[in-house]
Amino acid sequence: MSKHPFINRLNDLTPKDWLKFQKSWFIHNPPPRKKNVLRHPAKFPETLAMEFITYFTKINQVVLDPMAGTGSALVAALRTGRHSYGIELNPTYAEIARQVLIEERKILGQVAEDIRSDMITGDAACIDEIMSGYEIPDIDYVLTSPPYWDMLHAAGAITQKERRKSQELDVYYSTDPHDLGNILDYDEFVAHLTQIYVNMRTFLRPGAYLTIIVKNIKKGGRIYPLAWDLAHKLGNTYQLKDEKIWCQDNQRLSPYGMGNTWVSNTFHHYCLQFRNE
């Protein structure tokens, strides 16, 4: 009996690499951040973004990050031969991203000449105006990590205490009232965030995937299930296909609640996969 040829409509991976990505959890310890992007307080690694982009797209397809920060998703797209667009509210981070992309193009050389990487300073809540103003083509894939509510304002976080010692490192994203990380009410934050992702649907091609990297939140002795709330609410617009759990095993343990109550050290993120059905 002859075997049917493997036809891959989603990406350019081999069957072996396809199967490897299907594992529901993975360990990824980011490499040290370069000095030029240290200022951003919550950057996700390009190396992780490359894995998702190579799975959910083919070469020369289009990637969007509507909350692009210092451009991790755009750098990952450039390295893997995908076109990309990023939207970032903070003009300082947007400019850092542009400089990072210039440097990355110098490293990649000729292979990146025909790859488009556009960083747009703007508010993702106004995506209709942005998409029409920049004549962005239909999006094949969205990869993004939103603010984890207002947790960067939490004075007790160890990482935040360390960053406060430096005048060159930001502790939170901005003081802009349009910044979702400055919304104090959890339900209001989730509603605004959900609406941004819902509004993007018009610009996604049918069948396009949307990956949101997010974490549940501990605040005031309570868990706020941000990942689960987003999965539930966005399930009314997109089809929730699955989740991958990103684990980090190189983080320093802290004795939260020791001798008194259960409080975990949370070293995992949810990578929620939605599809534009």
Of 2, 174, 5, 208, the residue nearest 90 (C-alpha) = 174
Q: What is the tens place of the pLDDT at every residue in 194-240?
A: 999 999 999 999 999 999 999 999 888 889 999 999 999 999 999 99
pLDDT, position 162: 54
What's the mean pLDDT in 105-121? 95
CA atoms in the 13 A half-sphere facing the CB of 123? 12
Helices (H) and strands (E) in the chain, counts: 8, 10
What's the mean pLDDT in 258-274? 93
The CATH T-level fold of domain 26-275 is Rossmann fold (3.40.50)
Confidence check: pLDDT of 165 > 80: no
Element at 86 (helix H, strand E): strand 83-88
Confidence check: pLDDT of 191 > 90: yes
pLDDT, position 178: 78
- Higher-confidence residue: 72 or 220? 72
Of 178, 164, 185, 203, the residue nearest 121 (C-alpha) = 178
pTM: predicted TM-score of the whole model, two decimal places: 0.88
Supply 19's token pair: 């199967």
Domain ranges of the chain: 26-275
What percent of the chain is helix, strand and coil (3-state, nearest 5)?
A: 35, 20, 45
- The sign of the dihedral angle between the CA atoms of 194, 200, 205, 211 is negative
Q: What is the tens place of the pLDDT at every residue in 241-260?
A: 999 999 999 888 989 889 99
Q: Which residues does 191 contact at the CB level (< 8 Å), separation at least 6?
A: none
Query: pLDDT category, 182, cuts 50, 70, 90?
Result: confident
Query: pLDDT category, 5, cuts 50, 70, 90?
Result: confident
Q: Which residues does 169 contact at the CB level (< 8 Å), separation at least 6?
A: 38, 39, 41, 163
What's the mean pLDDT in 156-175? 51
Confidence check: pLDDT of 48 > 80: yes
Confidence check: pLDDT of 6 > 90: no
Confidence check: pLDDT of 87 > 90: yes
- The sign of the dihedral angle between the CA atoms of 31, 215, 217, 178 is positive
| In contact, 61 and 83? CB cutoff 8 Å | yes
Q: What is the CA radius of gyration of the chain?
A: 19
pLDDT, position 163: 40
Confidence check: pLDDT of 68 > 50: yes
Query: pLDDT category, 172, cuts 50, 70, 90?
Result: very low
